[in-house]
Structure 1
Amino acid sequence: MSENAAIIARIIEHNTGGQNRPTIDRDHIGVIATQHSRFDGDIDDSIAEALAEGYIKEQDDEYVATEKVLDLVPGTTR
């Protein structure tokens, strides 16, 4: 998985659940990603790659991280 797709998956993980909304939409992902110092790719391509790899999934036209994303965020539990 590319670094950009991993960044997208981590953004989704960190910004959903708990006291946050259960899902996040593409526009909010884009705002956060463009502020990330290491993200330098296309947001739609990175979302598509993270979806294809199974790190995120679509839910009601928004996105949520899967359990697989925990492999990208050491020490994270749900």
Structure 2
Amino acid sequence: MSLSVLVVENNPVIQRAVSAILEQEGCLVQTAENGLDALNKLKEDTPDLLFTDLVMPYVSGEQLCRIVKTNPS
């Protein structure tokens, strides 16, 4: 069984690099361009791991982690 990962990164170069490394390791990777996009994706699917940038537009990585941590699902 593969680990599912949501990579949240607003820099497309870093997002592709992190995603490629995780995929090489056998992870199933989804991506989001910012924290707001990530929250929308989290409504549809719950990944095993959330890999996020801290400085992003709309919802920062720190805010995203607080929201995910307080959500019981």
TM-score normalised over the length of structure 2 = 0.37
Point out the structure with the larger strand share: 2
TM-score normalised over the length of structure 1 = 0.35
